[in-house]
Chains A and B, each alone.
Chain A
């Protein structure tokens, strides 16, 4: 019989080797595709240029190198070949898209946003992963596939973060929003869009659980901090984070429902009426909630909080439905 010490030693060594091999990721780098990578880089340049132009600025070589995180000489080489291909034109230090380049860029953006929409509607993948996955997908999907996707998703106009999706012919809805950081104290607004770049700031916004479509009221806005009320909670954001959230100011005649809070704010023994489902709740999940009777105007209360307080069982239309808290977060109610 094998000595137990030796047997155990061999076992744990091979375990360690397996683990290290996985961590070092040697294979994935060995098998990457040069051609594909080059195409992706060209498309990234186009996209970056488009975003810069869309926001009304102009881009030089240095800005591009910084934004795309690549070394200068490689960028210069790419820019030269793109100029030859009539996708961009450069005069002095400014790079601009040609009409053909703009069309190309719009196509890529269309695929990107459609794919994010797809991920949000048809898969359970978390929103923090949408952007990276779409970055990969945008370089591989053909226009026909994109068209199919567009039909399948029911001709959407906006991606899940509130960005308009370019039409097939390259038209883009004009967005009339401004950053949350620019609002004055007391202003009321609706969140229209959440910017997903840069990544670090987007992750901060995600942890705050703010949703596109929510109404908010600025309590206090200063250079150091923006404090606002939204769906029953008070949030405090630094201006740099707040500037990545775009809103539309409510007009005088628009109603602002201060009393609309999230279902998670409901306490045991309280009665409430449902006022809607957040637009953050999409696809199959939204439909399932609607089918179960989570409809505007329906009375609801907590029947059993459950042993772990998550999920909780709610009484709605004379039926007990158990929901997890992250779903309850997406249902808006008005307490009685």
Chain B
């Protein structure tokens, strides 16, 4: 990760805002697809509204958004399609209310996944973050609700966090437009490959479990050498995930591989 980016763009704030163009729902030929993932009630829809100029409903309770919404913005010479997803506590569950978000994050193949987290409750939010990082290596952590965290006397060491997770971290307060320019810039840097992420991989697994995962992982990698997240697939198969099993038998993995190469 290049140093000048992590330092942020505090001085060019005005410059950045001027470059942002909200496109509303006009996203027919986007260069990059960006998904907004995160726990419920962390401000995903608020971030979405700020970037696209649309008016997704927001509200202070978990589960406000229940369908996925699309919008767009352009920054520099690139157009971005932004997807607002319902909140989800985890990608491991099978509950129906989280299906929309789960399926998009797993199979929608966004170019960048922005994980919006509640800065005042980092630990429980990291549960989802770590899962997303098993799937994709192009992610940005949007540390939202910073004003709330400050109000409640909580501070976050962003640089350590960024180092531990291996992805860029952008503190924001979406409702007050704080940190948005830097978020846009960071998304661009990740999308264009200027920032290369080295995502954290889940470490604290018991021996027996991690052995089983590794065994299956090896076999999957042999069969599908270009699959980017074979370890995750192995975990899901061991957990008996129907969607992943179906994807495997119906040959969807070939298409995943293909698009990765192309």
Residues of B within 8 A of A287 (CB): 90, 92-95
Assess the B93–A154 pair: CB atoms within 8 A. Answer: no
- Nearest Cβ on chain B to A319's Cβ, whole angstroms: 6
Q: Closest residue to B237 on the A side, CB-wise?
A: A154
Stretch from A42-50, A227-235, A250-258, A288-296 at the B interface: A288-296
Residue in B120, B127, B239, B242 whose beta carbon sits within 8 Å of that of A291 in the complex: B127
A36 interface contact, C-beta 8 A: no
Assess the B240–A291 pair: CB atoms within 8 A. Answer: no
Binary interface encoding of chain A residues 14-38 relative to chain B, with 1 for a CB under 8 A from any of its CBs, else 0: 0000000000000000000000000
Assess the B93–A318 pair: CB atoms within 8 A. Answer: no
A317 interface contact, C-beta 8 A: yes
Assess the A152–B93 pair: CB atoms within 8 A. Answer: no
Assess the A291–B121 pair: CB atoms within 8 A. Answer: no
Assess the B127–A293 pair: CB atoms within 8 A. Answer: yes
Residues of A within 8 A of B240 (CB): 151-155
- Nearest Cβ on chain B to A49's Cβ, whole angstroms: 33
Q: Which chain B residues (7-25) contact chain A, with CB distance < 8 Å?
A: none
B68 interface contact, C-beta 8 A: no
Assess the A317–B121 pair: CB atoms within 8 A. Answer: yes
Q: Once the chains are docked, how many angstroms separate the CA of A319 from the CA of B62?
A: 12
Q: Closest residue to A152 on the B side, CB-wise?
A: B242
Residues of B within 8 A of A291 (CB): 89-90, 92-93, 127
Residue in B92, B121, B245 whose beta carbon sits within 8 Å of that of A318 in the complex: B121
Question: Would A288 and B124 be within 8 Å (CB), given that A151-B245, A152-B240, A154-B239 are in contact?
Answer: no
Q: Once the chains are docked, how many angstroms separate the CA of A300 from the CA of B124?
A: 14
Q: Once the chains are docked, how many angstroms separate the CA of A152 from the CA of B244?
A: 11
Q: Once the chains are docked, how many angstroms separate the CA of A151 from the CA of B245?
A: 9
Q: Closest residue to A286 on the B side, CB-wise?
A: B93
Residues of A within 8 A of B92 (CB): 287, 291
B260 interface contact, C-beta 8 A: no
A284 interface contact, C-beta 8 A: yes
Q: Closest residue to B95 on the A side, CB-wise?
A: A284
Q: Once the chains are docked, how many angstroms separate the CA of A117 from the CA of B37?
A: 33
Q: Closest residue to A316 on the B side, CB-wise?
A: B124
Q: Closest residue to B92 on the A side, CB-wise?
A: A287
Assess the A317–B95 pair: CB atoms within 8 A. Answer: no
Question: Would A288 and B93 be within 8 Å (CB), given that A151-B245, A154-B239, A154-B240 are in contact?
Answer: yes
Residues of B within 8 A of A319 (CB): 121, 124
Assess the B93–A293 pair: CB atoms within 8 A. Answer: no
Residues of B within 8 A of A151 (CB): 240, 245
User: Which of A153, A288, A291 has the most chain B CB within a 10 Å cutoff?
Assistant: A291
B257 interface contact, C-beta 8 A: no
Assess the B124–A317 pair: CB atoms within 8 A. Answer: yes
Residues of B within 8 A of A153 (CB): 240
Q: Closest residue to B91 on the A side, CB-wise?
A: A291
B123 interface contact, C-beta 8 A: yes
Q: Once the chains are docked, how many angstroms separate the CA of A293 from the CA of B39?
A: 13
Binary interface encoding of chain A residues 122-165 relative to chain B, with 1 for a CB under 8 A from any of its CBs, else 0: 00000000000000000000000000000111110000000000
Q: Once the chains are docked, how many angstroms separate the CA of A319 from the CA of B89?
A: 13
- Nearest Cβ on chain A to B154's Cβ, whole angstroms: 9
- Nearest Cβ on chain A to B231's Cβ, whole angstroms: 19
Assess the A317–B123 pair: CB atoms within 8 A. Answer: yes
Binary interface encoding of chain A residues 304-335 relative to chain B, with 1 for a CB under 8 A from any of its CBs, else 0: 00000000000001110000000000000000
- Nearest Cβ on chain B to A156's Cβ, whole angstroms: 9
Binary interface encoding of chain B residues 175-204 relative to chain A, with 1 for a CB under 8 A from any of its CBs, else 0: 000000000000000000000000000000
Residues of A within 8 A of B89 (CB): 288, 291-292
Interface residues of B (CB under 8 A from A): 89-90, 92-95, 120-121, 123-124, 127, 239-240, 242, 245
Give 14 CB contacts A-B under 8 Å.
Answer: A152-B240, A152-B242, A153-B240, A154-B239, A283-B94, A287-B95, A291-B89, A291-B90, A291-B93, A291-B127, A293-B124, A318-B120, A318-B121, A318-B123
Closest 10 CB pairs of A and B: A154-B240, A291-B90, A291-B89, A287-B93, A317-B124, A284-B95, A293-B124, A318-B121, A317-B123, A291-B93
10 additional A-B residue pairs with CB within 8 Å, beyond A291-B90, A291-B127, A318-B121: A151-B240, A152-B242, A154-B240, A283-B94, A284-B94, A287-B90, A287-B93, A293-B123, A317-B121, A317-B123
